[in-house]
Amino acid sequence: MDSRMAMAMTKSEPASPRHVCLTGGGTLLVLDLCEGERAQIVYAGPDLGAVDPVELDLLSKRQHAPGGPTEPIALSLLNAIGTGHPSPPGLLAHAGGQHWSLDPRIVSIVRSEEHSCTIVTRDEASRICADHTITLGPESGVASFASKIRNEGDVSLWLEWCAAACLPLDESLTRVTSFTGRWASEFQTEMHDLVRGSFLRENRAGRTSHDSYPGLYLGTPTTGDAQGLACALHLGWSGNHRLRVDRLADNTSSIQAGELLLPGEIKLAPGETYTTPMLHACWSSQGYGDITRRLHRFVRTRLPQPDAPRPVHYNTWEAVYFDHSPEKLFALAERAAAVGAERFVLDDGWFGARRSDRAGLGDWFVAEDVYPDGLKPLADHVRSLGMEFGLWFEPEMVNPDSELYRAHPDWVLGVEGLEPIASRNQLPLDLTRPEVCDYLFERIDALVRELGIAYIKWDMNRDLQHPGGQDGRAIVHDQVRALYDLIDRIRAAHSDLVIESCSSGGARADYGILARTDRVWTSDNNDARYRHAIMRGGAHFLPLPVLGNHVGPKRCHTTGRRFDMAFRAGTAVFGHMGMELDLADESEADRAVLAKAIALHKRHRGLIHGGDYHRLETPPHIGGIGTVSPDKDEALFQIAVLEQHPGTQPPRIRFAGLDPDKRYRLECIWPDAMGGEQGPFAGSALIHYGLQMPLTWPDTCLIYHLEAVE
Ligand code: GLA
């Protein structure tokens, strides 16, 4: 049977054998695939129901535009330059200046699983092949695209750019939300209106970066959280990237994303291949909120330990910084356990000569002068208090003032003739050298075994400005792959080990790293007022169980602002809760408030981490989010008053995600004094009319619990 015929499938059996439909999770992809022709996506978006793809062709038929090609040129999966399409090409490669005008055509189509297919294309002149894989998440509806370039020619091929895919974008999606930030101010959202031309985000930080998050949301001018056509894309990659949206004079738009390659970074000898990172995309006709929930569903299924519990953390960083002593840490562990911590994470400063950030990085041996009996007594003490023991590492880096660097000055990345750029007194190690990863694996593996480590905070605290390898070539791509391999190797040796991706807080929080780590440290900024915006921004792509959220000291170390414990603790309840403060510096009354918030988090942890996430539409001085159980019987909402109310009274809060036909009993369960059950009220009234907020001071975080009644 013709392979194309075998591809005709799903509920909307296409009448035309050219068309392939993939459906799943409310998404429809219609591909036009015919041997000898280009691979095209006719439609990518919310499922249209029983539609014949031929109709889509007819509906989108255009007249000849004077001055242009006689026959319209359609966008193809890589929009290679030889096709003549006016959008920027998704594939730029050449063989020493020859064979640059590529135009790959379909050789074969293989459908490997129900929701996925592989399309093999080849440019006959150059013998360059591009294999495309497309997989649709059956529940989330998130589509994942990757391209693999194979050099079947007999001369080397220089690859300058290869997108994971070029996707058509509905022409009404003209509003872009992008995500930017800096250290201690991560996941800021910015909205832009598309003009004719290009919207471009490029990252050369050598890590996912603070300033250019590899994801975008797109909507129409009227799309909101609960209504309207929306789309999101995300590149699952922890290195350099490029995302672009291009809008042409004919009103068509397209999106593409891939790894940004540095000059000469990828050269494919005959027979060699390059595979792009994965581009994940999803669509909804029900607004940005539905997009967020789809992405959350998708991420949850891909985490290495999706069902692992999320123990409440105690992290030592802001309590002791580099000033470690067993006595202090034993006492901290006791105080942490007393307020309800379930995991104790010993942060930076436990190894080598690491008494400041100027020395010792890379020497992964317990500091004997600080811990004369090693770390075992502390780890055992932590466990005797009923907590897991976790440890901080920054494996990819070295201080020049370290034993490791003195022994192996050649193990670092760099570019001959260029002074290394100073950044936190450290240099990146070259992970592509097997001896570097062998050393790191041996050290981490030995410590995990010796100390019974259950959790690693994997940090990475600088950009790679000069990512040159031993032969002088740029090697960010190889460095990222080597990092992934190292983590995979550690995880294979310790299947229960949980790893957090930290990177200065928030600078490596992409879906590539999240296929091998279970948590991200969202931000070093524990300022409870600011944290609401950071969490809200991050949650556009990352579900609450992944986003670390800690109670900080009463005077915030990154902003100098002071907040009471009820606000700090209520803020951290929504996320993977933890704390990062000197508990001895808090009053007994405040420690009791903290213990209550932790107990509240534990009581509702299943709902916070397993429910559907909703952003509430509130005035700008109020932050409102919530999580609703899949059966809509229970919900928890967090309403944070971040500034003074402009009027004499606060607004009514309209709850989202409830069942309009159910009735809910409602209780404000935080802060303590605000208690008292209300209702039951009709779900429709809570959604569309709302509940009058109590009059409170700014920096108050209210938590409402809602339960459906019979
Ligand atoms: C980074 C992390 C912090 C802490 C320090 C330790 O800044 O984001 O949480 O671990 O490094 O040096």
Kindly report the protein residue whose alpha carbon is nearest to atom 11 of ligand 1: 504
The residue to mutate among 392, 456, 503, 580, having the most atoms of ligand 1 within 8 angstroms of its beta carbon, is 392
Kindly report the protein residue whose alpha carbon is nearest to atom 9 of ligand 1: 524
Atom in ligand 1 nearest the alpha carbon of residue 580: 9
Nearest to 78 by CA among 121, 126, 15, 112: 121
| Confidence band of 558 (pLDDT split at 50, 70, 90) | very high
Is there a contact between 282 and 229 (Cβ–Cβ < 8 Å)?
A: no
Cα 354 to ligand 1 centre (Å): 13
Tell me what the mean pLDDT of segment 104-120 comes to. 89
| Confidence band of 16 (pLDDT split at 50, 70, 90) | low
Q: What pLDDT digit, counting tens, does each position of 371-405 carry?
A: 999 999 999 999 999 999 999 999 999 999 999 99
Cα 543 to ligand 1 centre (Å): 22
Kindly report the protein residue whose alpha carbon is nearest to atom 4 of ligand 1: 317
Whole-number percent of the chain with pLDDT over 70: 97
Query: Residue 9 has what pLDDT?
Result: 38
Is there a contact between 173 and 220 (Cβ–Cβ < 8 Å)?
A: yes
Can 524 be counted among the known catalytic residues? yes
The residue to mutate among 504, 522, 581, having the most atoms of ligand 1 within 8 angstroms of its beta carbon, is 504
**What residues flank ligand 1, with Cβ below 6 Å?**
317, 347-348, 392, 459, 461, 502, 504-505, 521, 524
Is residue 418 packed enough to be buried (19+ CB in 10 Å), middle (13-18) or exposed (0-12)? exposed
Kindly report the protein residue whose alpha carbon is nearest to atom 1 of ligand 1: 504
Q: How many CB atoms sit inside 10 A of residue 211's CB?
A: 16
Cα 552 to ligand 1 centre (Å): 14
Tell me what the mean pLDDT of segment 266-279 comes to. 98
Tell me how far CA of residue 431 lies from CA of 357, 378, 495, in angstroms.
21, 31, 22
Kindly report the protein residue whose alpha carbon is nearest to atom 7 of ligand 1: 504
Query: Residue 8 has what pLDDT?
Result: 35
Using the predicted structure, report yes or no on whether residue 434 has a pLDDT greater than 60: yes
Can 459 be counted among the known catalytic residues? yes
Helix (H, G, I), strand (E, B) or coil at 447: helix
Whole-number percent of the chain with pLDDT over 90: 93
Tell me what the mean pLDDT of segment 144-157 comes to. 97
**Average pLDDT over all residues of the chain:** 95
Q: Facing residues of 144 across strands? A: 135, 280
Q: Pick the more confident residue, 676 or 506.
A: 506
| Confidence band of 676 (pLDDT split at 50, 70, 90) | confident
Query: Residue 3 has what pLDDT?
Result: 35
Cα 504 to ligand 1 centre (Å): 5
Cα 333 to ligand 1 centre (Å): 19
Query: Residue 278 has what pLDDT?
Result: 98
Identify the weakest region by mean pLDDT among 9-13, 502-506, 558-562, 637-641: 9-13
Q: What pLDDT digit, counting tens, does each position of 449-505 carry?
A: 999 999 999 999 999 999 999 999 999 999 999 999 999 999 999 999 999 999 999
The model's pTM is 0.97
